[in-house]
Every structure is written in structure tokens, then in C-alpha cells.
Homo-oligomer: A and B are copies of this chain.
């Protein structure tokens, strides 16, 4: 599986479901993606309430799912390259949140008509798409946990750890860190705290030699302490040991 062969879907394929897909399914998926385009930072891909007829594949860059309320922006999910950002829109249609790029991004689109066809013609592939929305939900639950359990420093540590693992999974992180274009305001919006307080937490992480955030890059200084501080357990990201989504079930009747 090369980048040349699957210019749009290769990071998706790099990601969490690749090993369950056949060559043919990979090709099918790649062909689904149309209207690939580059968009600037802070571009609103979709607005809350929009009725969508296509789903967005994030090919390069970062995307936040946001909900605004009385002038305050809240980030309820973050996406990295390879993520299907709003596959759930296929069934839900009307979005409960907006979708906004952070930093320049490259996007592709898959028409819902085509996904519908897949459902009957390629049930196994359809199940993989279902699976990828379930992983999203698992990440949601982890965010709920982090918001209930941790205070600001732990939340930021958790966010950093999660982002490192997800980016690493698609080849965009290395042991020293990863590129990360979120401003402190945006990180605060994703951690349920204020930018001012988050700034103090950033300093704390820096001074205690755990991680450094500056100029669009996060540097990991001590992964072990970072993981502890964020009470981070990576298993939820992978649906570990799972992917019983393979072909066995199809066969067994």
C-alpha cells in the first residue's frame, strides 16, 4: 500500500482498519473520494444544522468539531489526517456541530449515495466504516472521562498523549514530538478551561520537563510522566484485540 497508489485514502488505510481490508476494498475506498481540495486555516467545512449529502475525509491537516454557545467556542472532537470527520452524517444528516479546519488542510469528499450503495454491495467494507465511527465514539468516551476525572494539567497532558498516539499511527509523530497547529485558546476550548489558565499549565509542563509547546509544535520531553499526568491508556484508540470485524463473521453464516 503506497501513497502513490492511494493518494487520498492512504492515511486512513495506514490507520486503524487497514489490516482488515482487501486490496480491492482499498481501491474501492480510494475511488469513492472526490473533489479533493486544499482549504485555508479556520475554514468552516460544515456548519451546525447543515444538512449534509457527503462525508469529509481529512487527507492532510487538522480539523475540530466545534459547538458555539453564547460566544464561547467548545471543541468536542479533534481529527488528524486519515480520519473520516463526519461519517456519522451519513445517518444523522443534520449535524449537531460545526466542522472547522485548524491550519491548512486537504480534504476529500464521499457522497452519501455511494456509501448507501456500499452498504448492500460491500457489506464488509460498510462494516469497517461503521467500525470507524465506533472508534470515534470510544474517543468521545475517553474525553468524557478525562473531563470528569482530571483537572487542567491532566487534561492537557491527556490531549497531548492522545494526539501523539493518533498522529504516530499515521506516521506524523516521532519520539521527540509532533507538529500541532492549535493555539492555546483552542487547546483550552478542547480541555474545558480558559486560555489564561491553560497558559499556566503549559508553563508548568515546560518547567517540569514534561513537554514543550511552541510555534506549532509539541515536543515530548518525558513521555512516561506525561502519560501518568494524563492518566492515559492508549488501548481505547485501537479497539484493541478487536477487529473481529474481519472476514470470519461473514463466513460463519
Contacts and interface: CB of A to CB of B under 8 A. Distances in A.
Nearest to A190: B148
Interface residues of A, number: 59
A231 interface: yes
Interface string A219-250: 00000000000010001100111111100011
Interface stretch (A67-75, A175-183, A209-217): A67-75
B96 A144 contact: no
| Dominant secondary structure of chain A at its interface with chain B | helix
A134 B91 contact: yes
A21 interface: no
A127 interface: yes
> How many copies of this chain does the complex contain?
2
A65 B140 CA distance: 13
A144 B77 CA distance: 9
Given A120-B250, A144-B147, A147-B192, A239 B130 contact: no
Closest 7 CB pairs of A and B: A148-B192, A140-B140, A93-B242, A147-B147, A116-B249, A137-B137, A91-B131
12 contacts: A74-B148, A74-B149, A77-B141, A91-B131, A91-B244, A91-B245, A93-B241, A94-B239, A113-B253, A119-B127, A120-B250, A143-B144
Given A67-B145, A137-B140, 5 more contacts: A74-B148, A76-B144, A77-B144, A92-B239, A123-B126
